[in-house]
Amino acid sequence: MTYSYRITLLPGDGIGPEIMAVAVDVLNLVGKRFDINFKFTEALIGGVAIDATNEPLPTDTLELCRNSDAVLLAAIGGYKWDNLPRHQRPETGLLGLRAGLGLFANLRPATIFPQLIDASTLKRNVVEGVDIMVVRELTGGIYFGQPKGIFSQETGEKRGVNTMAYTEAEIDRIGRVGFETAKKRGGKLCSVDKANVLDVSQLWRDRITTLAAEYPDVELSHLYVDNAAMQLVRAPKQFDTIVTGNMFGDILSDAAAMLTGSIGMLPSASLSESNPGVFEPVHGSAPDIAGQDKANPLAMVLSAAMMLRYGLDQPEAADCIEQAVVKVLDKGDRTGDIISEGMNLLGCRAMGESLIQCLEES
């Protein structure tokens, strides 16, 4: 049986086009092996979209994404657009994509590759064996709550306002993703909030606790976000799956990412209830090395694997890609962000060629 999928590619800014090219090559090769036909269509988002259309998320791009089976996003942003009004910045396009597709659940794995343990800034005995999945709520909370803005008061002084808000339905929806994810992993779910000082977090904790009755095979715990941040650094192996709100998840997932030694190795998946998911590396656009063939494409390639696994239900093809990444690391091939003594320093294109070779030999 041949499978056919429409994939929207959003290369974006900075190193985005370089790493996307590697991911597409890998997907095309794996597709031939597993009788999967990909129809790739590129679209604009972020800074390049601003330059071309004066909008960070053109209407045509959002419509194309909605009509695809999955979306691969590389990276957005750069110094060039940092001083634009907020509504015109590349990051606003990303928020618009999440809202427009209803991408309420963000899955951020932080897994230690044995070959890269020494790249972590933490001691080997602390990080060896770490395998964490952060489930972050993505379309609510303080990033989307109303009212928000910078307002002038009667005194003439300006006041900045952002509103952290969640409904029961929003909490239940992401909570179920957290519990279901934990069921497929180690059976432990840690819910992170700030219920000791925030009313919205108290509602979060109440709803997550209520949901736990539906998942008797999952061990539920709670942590305040400040303690969770400390524990991630002190003893990360205690965590299996973490579920939390938008802002807390934004911070904690980046902290968990750095346990692995390089953010350049980590993929993510953003899922909705009915629209296609978006799969992207967690690193930024790295404008300082853009166009220099120095980027690490492995997080982009692993994001393509997450697309196959979580977006297209092609787990065997996903396994194939993930195994190729391990083989490349076993060979000692490294980009500059993960290089260590005695390893082979490769550029972005050469790393892609090494992946293709490993796939052809497997």
Task: Give the active site residues.
Answer: 143, 194, 226, 250, 254
* Rounded-to-integer distance, Cα 102 and Cα 95, Å: 10
Of 222, 217, 196, 219, the residue nearest 207 (C-alpha):
222
DSSP of 95-146: HHHHHHHT--EEEEEEE--GGGGGGSSS-HHHHTT-EEEEEEE-SSGGGT-S
Q: What SS3 state is found at 235?
A: coil
Of 174, 180, 93, 188, the residue nearest 138 (C-alpha):
174
Cβ neighbors of 207 (< 8 A, separation 6 or more) are: 168, 171, 172, 175
* Rounded-to-integer distance, Cα 103 and Cα 293, Å: 32
What separation in angstroms does the CA of 171 have from each of 103, 109, 164, 246?
14, 21, 13, 11
- Output the CA torsion sign for 51, 91, 308, 16: positive
* Rounded-to-integer distance, Cα 332 and Cα 342, Å: 8
* Rounded-to-integer distance, Cα 62 and Cα 43, Å: 9
Three-state secondary structure of 335-358: CHHHCCCCCEECCHHHHHHHHHHH
Cβ count near 288 (within 10 Å): 11
Cβ neighbors of 187 (< 8 A, separation 6 or more) are: 217, 218, 219, 240
* Rounded-to-integer distance, Cα 199 and Cα 211, Å: 19
Of 6, 1, 120, 153, the residue nearest 71 (C-alpha):
6
Q: What SS3 state is found at 18?
A: helix
